[in-house]
Amino acid sequence: MERLSEFTLTFLLNAAWQIVPLTLAAAACARLLRDASARYRHAVWVAALCLSIALPLWSLYNFNADAPGTTSHAPATAVAPWKMNPLAAPQVAARPNVSAGARESVFPLDALLQRRRGTLPSMPYATLALVFAYAVFLLYRLNALRRAWKRTREIRRSAYARAMPSEMREAAARCAALFGVRDVRVECSAEVDAPVTVGWRAPVIIQPESFYAPLPAETLSAVLGHETAHVARRDFAFNLVYEILRLPLSFHPLANLVTRQIKRTRELACDELVAGRVLAADAYARSLVRVASSLSNPAGHAYSLGVFDADILEERVMRLIEKRGRRMSVRAGRILMAASLSLLLTMALGASVFSVGFRAVAGDSSAQAQERRASKPPVDASEKIAALSSADATARAAAACALGRARVAEAIPALVGMLGDDTPVEPLKCWEENSDWSPALATFKQASPGEEAAIALAAMGQAAVEPLVAALGHGNVSVRRNAAWAIGEVSGGMMSKRDGAVAPLRSALSDGDEWVRTAAARSLGEIRDESAVESLLAALTDASVRVRETAAWSLGEMKERRAVQSLAAMLLKDEQAGARRMAAWALGEIQDPKAVASLTAALNDTEPRVREKAKWALSEILSDEDTQE
C-alpha cells in the first residue's frame, strides 16, 4: 500500500506543477500561430496534452531508480532542486551498467534527467487521505466517461437508414469525393438535435429528422461538409484518445483548458477545410448561422462530433469572414509549428529535470520510529551478517530475513553465498505483515536458509540484480535455482531494470535441473521481455510438467499472442491435466479469438478442472469480443 501511495503522490505532485509551464508555452506558441492554419495550433495543443501526461509518468520511471531496493530506509528529506549541481555526474555505484565513456560525456543527459530529483517525506494520514480522494475522483471521472460513452452508443443504436432527398444525396456524395473518403453512411435519428459523427472504424453521420425536410443545397453542403471533414481527419478516434489521456489529469484546471483548446482548434480546422473545398467562406458562414438559429440545442452529444461542438460559433464565423490577406503562408506556418513543438519538447525536458518524488518509510510511520531507524547502530547489521554462519539453520534463515527487511546492502555478498543452503526449516513468515513489499511466493521448492536469502536479495531491489545474474552460472544447482527465482521477485517489479538477466535466464531454461528451469521460466514471465518468447515457447515441450506449466503461466502473464498456437496444442495434447489447465488459463489471459476452437474442444476434457478453466477462458475471450464490437 505504501508503494502505491508513493507512486500516486509522485505522479500527482509532478502533474500539479509540470502542466503549468507546458500550458503557458503552448499558449504562447498558439498566439504566435494565430494567423496560421488552425491545424497547426491544434497540433501544438495536442502535443501539450501528451507531454502533460508523459512527464509525470516519466517521473515515476526515474523515481523508481531510487527505490527502496537501492537505498537505505532512513526517512527522506525535502531537497531543493535548484541547490543541486545540474552537471553532476551520476554515481557509478548506483548505476553499474553505465560505461566510462557515458560518464565522461560532455553533456551528461542522464545526470540531468536523474540527479536533480528531490524527495519529500512521508505524511501517513495525509497520504492515505489524498490517495483515497484521488481514487474516488478517478472513479467519478471514469463513471462520467462511461455514461457519455453509453449515451453515444444509444445515439448510434437509434440511427436508422432513411431515403435521402436528392439534394442531400448529391451534397453527401460531393463532400465525400472532395475529402477523399469512402463508405461514409448518412443516417437519421430522433435522438439528436444537430448533425453529429459517431464511430471510428465505420463512421456514421447522423442527422436529425428535421434535416430531411427541404433545405437549401448550400446549407446541406455546409453541414455535411463539416461532418465529412471530421471523418477525413479521424477526429472521433482521436477525441476518444484525448479524453482517456486527460482522465488522470482531469483534476487540474489547466488540463481542462488544454482539452477545450483542442476542441476549439479542431472545429476551426474543419471549418478551414470546408471553406477551402466545399463552399466559399462567406457562404459557409451564412449557412452556420442559419442552421444555428433553427436549432433549439446545438450542442454536442457525449463523445460524438457535431457541427456546433466547442460552443464557439461567433469566433468561427468571424474567422471565416475576416480578410484572407492576414493569414500566414503554409510554409511559414509549418516552420513556426515545428519551432513551437521544439519549444514544447525543450520545456518538457527542463521540467523533467526538476521532478520530485515521494518516499514513504516502511514499517512504523511515526516520527519516533523513523528516528530510531535512522540512528540504529551499524553493529546490528554486522551481527546479522555474522549470524548467517550460525550452526543453527533457523538462526541463519532468521538473520537473512532481518537483513532483507532492513535492506542492508552490504550483506548482499554474504546472502549470495548462502543461496545454496538447502537445509529444511519451518517457514518463517518473514514478510506476511510487511507493508512495504512482499514476494509473490513465500517459498519456491522448500523453506530453507537459501530461499530466505533469495527473498532477502529480492527485497534489496536493483542493487542485487547483478550479483544474482552472476550466481546463475554457479556450479551448485541450489544456488542457480534460488538466484533464478529471486531475479523474478526483485522489488520494483516491472519498473526494475533486469534486461541483463534475460539472456542468462534463457540459457537457464536448458539447465539439467528441472527446478532451475522452472525458476528461470517464472522469472522470464515476471520480467516480460519479448526476446524470451521463443525460449518460453520451446519450454512448453519440456520433459518436466512443472516447467511446461510455468512456461505457459509466463506466456499468459505476457499476454503473448504468438503463443496461442503452441498453447492450444498443449491444451489438447499434453498428458498432464495440470499443464492442460494452465494452458487454458494462459489462453484466457491472452484473449485471442483464434483460441476459441481449441478451448471449445477442451470443454470435453476428461479432467473437470481443465473443463472449468476452458469455460472461464472462453467467457473472457467472447466477452472481450463483445466489448470491441
- Alpha carbon distance 625, 629 (integer Å): 6
Closest CA to 544 of 502, 581, 516: 516
pLDDT of residue 480: 95
pLDDT, tens digit, 9 for 90 and up, residues 61-92: 655 544 433 333 333 333 333 333 333 333 33
pLDDT of residue 290: 86
pLDDT, tens digit, 9 for 90 and up, residues 231-282: 999 999 999 999 999 999 999 999 999 999 999 999 999 999 999 899 999 9
**For residues 468 and 487, is the Cβ–Cβ distance under 8 A?**
yes
Provide the pairing of β-strand 196-198 with 185-189.
Answer: unpaired
- Alpha carbon distance 102, 108 (integer Å): 8
- Looking up cell 524470451 gives 532
**For residues 194 and 306, is the Cβ–Cβ distance under 8 A?**
yes
Closest CA to 191 of 154, 229, 227: 154
State the DSSP H helix or E strand holding residue 120, giving kind and residue range, or none if neither.
strand 118-120
pLDDT, tens digit, 9 for 90 and up, residues 182-217: 878 999 999 888 889 998 888 999 999 888 888 889
- Alpha carbon distance 111, 65 (integer Å): 13
Helices (H), 184-280: 217-233, 235-246, 253-277
CATH class of 530-629: mainly alpha
pLDDT of residue 404: 87
**For residues 452 and 393, is the Cβ–Cβ distance under 8 A?**
no
pLDDT of residue 467: 94
- Looking up cell 554515481 gives 91
Where in the sequence of the chain do the CATH 1.25.10.10 domains occur?
530-629
- Looking up cell 471510428 gives 200
pLDDT of residue 90: 32
Segments of the chain with pLDDT less than 70: 1-3, 61-125, 295-311, 323-326, 357-379, 433-436, 493-495, 624-629
- Alpha carbon distance 47, 24 (integer Å): 13
